[in-house]
Amino acid sequence: MTIRPPSRTARVLLPAAVAVVLLSGCAQAGDAASDTPTGPTLTATPTGSPVTVTPPPSTGPVPSGTVSAGAGSAAGTLLVSDFGSDTVTFVDPARGATGSVRAGTAPYGLALGKDGRAWVATAEGVAVVDTTTRERLALVPYRTDTGPVTTGEYRGGGMGIALSPDGKRVYVGVNVPGGNGTLEVIDTASLKVVEVVDVGRRPFDVDVSRDGSAVYATNHDSFDVTVVDADSLDARRVEVAPYGTEGGLGSWLKPHYTAVRPSDGKLLLPFEGERLAVVDPATGRVEIESMTANTHQHGATVTPDGTLFAVGTGPIDPSEDRGPSLTVRSPEGVERVYPLDGPHEDVAVSKDGGTAYVTGGFTRDGYWDGLSVVDLTSGEVKRLAAGSRPLGVVVF
């Protein structure tokens, strides 16, 4: 296994004064889009022997109309959350945006139910959007006090969001500026918050086990994942910090997004295009495998066959790190890295597995209003204008 020297940690710690200003989260990377090649880079590097890391023990709906409506959506339509506005946007991969619907302030994560309803984590509450009629059906307010409704990277309110497999519960990670967040549980029939569970700081992502028995909140600013029993709501912390926790709130080297591996239910968390943390949520054991992209990574998803997709947002240190990219990693650990033009945030994959859609919103500066459409066979990457600073993306 090849892992770059630990000097990376020293390079990325923010000066104390800057850390106080930022409060939390990733440090500013500068212009991550510069000098980025346009064609794909092929790498076929097995992971090698993993290194084992031992962690320490561990109210009612508000109706709303639409901004812009359209006809029912065809199969393969995309929905993106417009972090730069109060809307979600429908996108035809061939034609671009086809209409937007008001969701709520600064929409972040998205979850799509089998009934065609999309659940959108906003600063105000969870919006419920009918993707067929293209209207907002409700806005479910949070129980958690997140302070004034604001916009921007550190705004309070919903971040990661996921549905239970049976569609009866929505789980949303709620950021509380300056403190620990919560996981709120919404009953999809009554459209009310029914439970609140304490989790870590800034829950970037929320995922659910395939059988629905456990919920995972990935907490960016506390270097951990909160594992929540879906029945009892008992919660426990699993530290995920392959570079350590030095630097605290000013560190770049934190978890962002998680994918649940279909084969065994383990959690996959990419770090820096260098290390993949593989977490056993039952035992809390963390194993580290090597990655090859060498870029700061955010969004992650996994397809049913176990292929992992990880979004590279760009370099921490442009003199040593590579630019934005999309890593596609086989279940055997072989990676193909597609360079991208400019920062990106999250990724979804077409149902036939042939195309990836990577959002250009990005939670830091340098974002753009559109998607990169990646042909996973040819390596061709096209830009598609769509939405306003799009972060979350789903395919339906």
Each residue of 154-166: pLDDT tens digit? Answer: 999 999 999 999 9
Structure confidence at residue 55 (pLDDT): 30
Whether the CB-CB separation of 361 and 348 falls below 8 Å is answered with no
Give the integer Cα–Cα distance in Å for 103 and 386: 16
Strand order in the sheet with 135-141: 110-112, 117-121, 125-130, 135-141
Mean pLDDT of 175-198: 98
Tokens standing for residue 301 = 């998803």
Tokens standing for residue 13 = 């710690």
- Residue 50 pLDDT > 80: no
Structure confidence at residue 365 (pLDDT): 83
Q: Which amino acid is at 26?
A: C
Give the integer Cα–Cα distance in Å for 189 and 140: 12
Kind and range of the H or E element at 358? strand 355-359
Q: How far apart are the first and last CA of the chain?
A: 38
Assign 190 a pLDDT band (cuts: 50, 70, 90): very high
Give the integer Cα–Cα distance in Å for 265 and 282: 9
Domains located in the chain, CATH noted? 58-395 (2.130.10.10)
- Residue 269 pLDDT > 70: yes
Assign 26 a pLDDT band (cuts: 50, 70, 90): low
Give the integer Cα–Cα distance in Å for 36 and 58: 41
Give the integer Cα–Cα distance in Å for 372 and 369: 10
Give the integer Cα–Cα distance in Å for 372 and 379: 12
Question: How far from the centroid of its chain's Cα atoms is residue 239's Cα?
Answer: 18
What one-character DSSP code corresponds to residue 297? E
- Residue 101 pLDDT > 90: yes
Q: Which residue has better confidence, 100 or 7?
A: 100
- Residue 69 pLDDT > 80: no
Strands 267-271 and 275-279 turn out to be antiparallel
Structure confidence at residue 334 (pLDDT): 98
Give the integer Cα–Cα distance in Å for 89 and 241: 35
Give the integer Cα–Cα distance in Å for 180 and 316: 26
Give the integer Cα–Cα distance in Å for 388 and 25: 22
- Residue 23 pLDDT > 60: no
Mean pLDDT of 240-252: 94
- Residue 70 pLDDT > 80: no
Structure confidence at residue 52 (pLDDT): 33
- φ, ψ of residue 293 in degrees (nearest 5): -80, -30
304 by Cβ neighbours in 10 Å (0-12 / 13-18 / 19+) ranks as: exposed
Structure confidence at residue 8 (pLDDT): 57
Kind and range of the H or E element at 8? helix 7-12
- Residue 59 pLDDT > 90: no
Give the integer Cα–Cα distance in Å for 108 and 112: 14
Each residue of 290-310: pLDDT tens digit? Answer: 999 999 999 999 999 999 999
Each residue of 117-167: pLDDT tens digit? Answer: 999 999 999 999 999 999 999 999 999 999 999 999 999 999 999 999 999
Q: Which amino acid is at 219?
A: N
Structure confidence at residue 67 (pLDDT): 38
Mean pLDDT of 243-262: 95
Assign 72 a pLDDT band (cuts: 50, 70, 90): low
Q: Which amino acid is at 263?
A: S
Structure confidence at residue 63 (pLDDT): 33
Residues paired with residue 30 on neighbouring β-strands, in sequence order: none
Give the integer Cα–Cα distance in Å for 101 and 87: 5
Average pLDDT, the chain: 86
